Amino acid sequence: MNAQPCGHRETDRPQPAPSAAADPPAADRGAIYVSLIVLVAFAVRLVYLYQIEGIPFFYGLISDAERYDAWARSIASGDWWGQTTFYQAPLYPYFLAAVKAALADSPFVTRLAQIVLGSLSCGLLALAGRAFFSPRAGLWAGAVLALYPPAIFFDGLIQKTSLAQFLFCLLLALLGWQQLRVRAWRSLAIGAVLGLFCLTRENGLALVPVVLVWAWLYRPAERAPGARLRFWRTALVLAGLILVLLPVGLRNRFVGGEFVLTTAQMGPNFYIGNNPDATGRYRPLVKGHETPEFEQDDARRLAEQDVGHPLTPREVSRYWSGLSWAYIRSQPLDWLKLLGNKWLLVWNAYEIPDSESYYVYRDWSWLLVLLGSLMHYGVLVPLAAAGVVLFWGQRRRLGVLYALVLVTAAAVTLFYIFARYRYPIVPVAVLFAGAALPEAVALFRASRWRPLTAAACALVPTAVLVNLTLNPEGELNATAWGNVGSALARQESMERAVACFERAVEGAPHSAEMHYNLGLAYSFQGRFAQAVEQLRTALRISPNLVEADYQLAVALERLGRLEEALHHYRRALQLNPDDAEAKAALQRLSP
């Protein structure tokens, strides 16, 4: 067994992980195994890609995917510089633009490029596990990530998660190699890769202090460093970071008039996660404006209405941050309770969906169903907890892994929770889980029951805690099915759209939006009596839902119930005086 037994006493000089360089035949076998992991990961993801090709989101992009795609097309057409301060993380659309320019402007090709990245991530994680733990632990880690269902799901989305995972796994591999043998270029590369990660995930900036402290404190395997070496390797990490982030800050200064290192989105996001009505999950600043085309404009418009004058992007961000801090100062106990709830959501087994849901995609992929029955977040986190306990004796050497996972979880907790936001936790969790499996086998064979008992004491309660039902899963899944229905309706597949909306209503019977969507779909089909029933239900739940009054009036008019139709046209106009269609209908029907 290559891994260190748990519970060993630390010496002044940390024990290095076994180096493949010391055994050429073993190194050759290791390279073959890592290559096989990458190939298996790619094959699995390719099968998955063909399985989900029929989902309406595959070619008919929505929400963030649609916005990133449009942004990438603009870049590929020559607008590399842009015209405003970055509001969303910029690296991913530039990656998409490069794919479009080099290969093809096709959602399938984009997803194919991403599963290549995802497969390489599995190989990089195997190499990181080899450096931090042992060759066997590395292979386990790579294999787990290759077959981990949420990883397969995220690699197939047109979202920045796949690129962020690749950069994070590359960062882990560089950190592991640097601890084995110091190289100046690796220090520079660590800083550069961390900078690129920050341009993909804005909260990656929270990891900068962790990596800089690690660069100063870590002790490589070959010798104890002096102060001069510590200074230079830390300076090189910082230099790599600056080389990547400084041009972006200067670009924002030149284009938007403000020096912003990454994006000007932090304030609104912080407010969404920290306000008196926050739940820990996403809630838009304006109800019904959940999509990217509204988010930035709503944040600016509402802030400017409140202060009474135009604001720059950074001033808008500060405005929303200020509201959050005012809430935190005025209701500290309430905020701490909210923070505790968000911390639990970070570790909960349920994959909180954004516009595209893991649970919806499972209905198109038997592969996700099969693999998900064996491995999911609710299995991974307890295994990782066991690994944390088993390798606690090596915490000085592995300290950067402990710090990365805790700081990443804390950074997500400070805002709000989506499954894709917490996803950077997964590679580190997979490393600990992958190391725990062979270590537990070795301890069992050696009849070392004490460390195994300690690991079990971590695994069992963690498994219970993370698999509790903490989210309104029916409502969240219903929203996801509503998104599928909307996509199908835009593609004029109304029969399938109605089936999705009916499923959404079944999952969230108290949601006005779900009843409204179903009623509107019934109207499009000419099923006006059923439309009236659903739209009335929507208004009972949410009496001021303007769109429901207008659509109900239309359905009633088509049924010949003109007096009722006039009543709801008047209500629609009362709630929205600018509703030109309601005005026209009243003029047409009024005697």
Contacts 24+ apart (CB under 8 A), 534-543: 534/505, 537/512, 538/512, 538/513, 539/512, 541/510, 541/511, 541/512, 541/515, 542/512
Q: Which two tokens stand for residue 197?
A: 């990660």
**Distance between alpha carbon 55 and the CA centroid of its chain, in Å?**
20
What is the C-alpha separation between 236 and 212, in angstroms, rounded?
A: 10
pLDDT higher than threshold 60 for residue 319: yes
Residue type, 510: H
CB 346 within 8 Å of CB 412: yes
Least confident range of 149-163, 210-224, 340-354, 554-568: 210-224
pLDDT, tens only, 426-468: 999 999 999 999 999 999 999 999 999 999 999 999 999 999 9
- C-alpha atoms less than 13 angstroms from C-alpha of 5 in its C-beta half-sphere: 14
**Segments forming the whole domain that contains residue 538:** 473-589
- Are 501 and 450 in a shared domain? no
Of the pLDDT bands very low, low, confident and very high (cuts 50, 70, 90), residue 292 is low
The upper half-sphere exposure of residue 62, i.e. CA atoms within 13 Å in the direction of its Cβ, equals: 21
Q: CA 251, CA 257: separation in Å to the nearest integer?
A: 9
Q: Which tens digit of pLDDT belongs to each residue from 232-274? A: 989 999 999 999 999 999 998 888 888 888 887 888 999 999 9
Of 22-36, 331-345, 576-590, which range is least confident? Answer: 22-36
List pLDDT tens digits, range 68-85: 999 999 999 988 888 888
Please tell me whether residues 131 and 244 are part of one structural domain: yes
Tokens of 2: 């290559």
Residues 122 and 138: their CA atoms lie apart, in Å, by 10
Q: Is the pLDDT of residue 544 over 70?
A: yes
Among candidate residues 466, 501, 521, the one where a domain is terminated: 466
| Per-residue pLDDT, 591 | 66
- Mean pLDDT across the chain, nearest whole number? 89
Chain centre distance of CA 566: 46
Give the burial class of 322: count Cβ atoms within 10 A of its Cβ; 0-12 exposed, 13-18 middle, 19 or more buried: middle
Domain's final residue, options 286, 315, 347: 347
The verdict on residue 4 lying in a domain is no
1 in a domain, yes or no? no
Per-residue pLDDT reduced to its tens digit, 297-308: 888 889 989 999
User: What sign does the CA torsion over 46, 47, 50, 56 have?
Assistant: negative
CA 391 to chain centre: 28
Instruction: Quote the pLDDT of residue 12.
Output: 36
| pLDDT per residue as tens digits for the range 191-235 | 999 999 999 998 899 999 999 999 998 877 656 667 888 899 899
Q: What is the pLDDT of residue 479?
A: 87
The model's pTM is: 0.89
Verify that 364 and 501 share a domain, yes or no. Answer: no
- HSE of 489, CA atoms in CB hemisphere, 13 A: 20
- Rounded to an integer, the average pLDDT of 16-22 is 43
Query: Is residue 166 located within the same domain as residue 55?
Result: yes
| 369-394 average pLDDT score | 96
Tell me, yes or no, whether 65 lies in a domain: yes
Is the Cβ–Cβ distance between 457 and 331 less than 8 Å?
A: no
239 shares a domain with 155: yes
Residue 28 scores a pLDDT above 70: no
* Residue 560 backbone zone (phi > 0: left; psi -120 to 50: alpha; other: beta): left
Out of 126-130, 325-329, 522-526, 542-546, least confident range? 542-546
Same domain, 360 and 332: no
Residue 27 pLDDT grade (very low, low, confident, very high; cuts 50, 70, 90): low
For the segment 11-40, the average pLDDT, to the nearest whole number, is 64
**Burial degree of 472 (CB within 10 A; 0-12, 13-18, 19+):** middle
Q: Is residue 531 part of a domain?
A: yes
Indicate whether 15 pLDDT > 50. Answer: no
To which residue do tokens 């180096």 refer?
Answer: 19
- Same domain, residue pair 141 and 44: yes
Residue 312 lies in a domain: yes
Q: For residues 413 and 539, give the distance between their C-alpha atoms in angstroms, rounded to a whole number.
A: 35
How would DSSP label each residue in 327-394? HHHH-HHHHHHHHHHHHHHHH-SS---SSS-HHHHHTT-HHHHHHHTT--HHHHHHHHHHHHHHTGGG
Do 32 and 177 lie in one domain? The reply is yes
The answer as to whether 12 is a domain residue is no
For residue 26, what pLDDT is reported?
59
- What is the per-residue pLDDT for 521? 92
Q: With a cut of 70, say whether residue 64 has pLDDT above it.
A: yes
Q: Are 114 and 156 in contact (CB under 8 A)?
A: yes
| pLDDT of residue 67 exceeding 60 | yes
Q: 569: which 2 tokens?
A: 């046209």
491/580 same-domain check: yes
Q: Residue 457 belongs to what H/E stretch?
A: helix 449-466
Spatial separation of the C-alpha atoms in residues 504 and 69, rounded to whole Å? 27
Backbone torsion region of residue 78, taken as left when φ is above 0, otherwise alpha when ψ lies between -120 and 50, otherwise beta: left
SS3 content of the chain, % helix, strand, coil (to 5): 70, 0, 30
**446 and 327 in a common domain:** no
Residue 8 in any domain: the answer is: no
CATH at 515 = 1.25.40.10
The pLDDT of residue 357: 93
240 and 138 belong to one structural domain? yes
Choosing from 304, 325, 347, the residue where a domain stops is 347
Cα dihedral across residues 51, 57, 60, 64: positive or negative: negative
With a cut of 60, say whether residue 66 has pLDDT above it: yes
Cβ neighbors of 314 (< 8 A, separation 6 or more) are 85, 258, 260, 264
Query: Domain total for the chain?
Result: 3
Packing angle, helices 184-198 and 161-180, rounded to 10? 160
- Joined together, the tokens standing for residue 15 give 């024990």
Give per-residue pLDDT as tens, 120-129: 999 999 999 9
Report how far apart, in Å, the C-alpha atoms of 544 and of each of 515, 516, 540, 548, 549 are: 14, 12, 9, 8, 8
Q: State which amino acid sits at residue 485.
A: G
User: Which residue is associated with the tokens 């070392």?
Assistant: 448
Surface-to-core class of residue 444, CB atoms within 10 Å of its CB (0-12 exposed, 13-18 middle, 19+ buried): exposed
CA distance 497 to 518: 9
- Do 457 and 557 share a domain, yes or no? no
The answer to whether 246 and 196 have CB atoms below 8 angstroms apart is no
Structure tokens at 9: 């006493």
* Secondary structure (DSSP) of 286-328: STT--SHHHHHHHHHHHHHHHHTS---HHHHHHHHHHHHHHHH
Asked whether residue 11 is assigned to any structural domain, the reply reads no
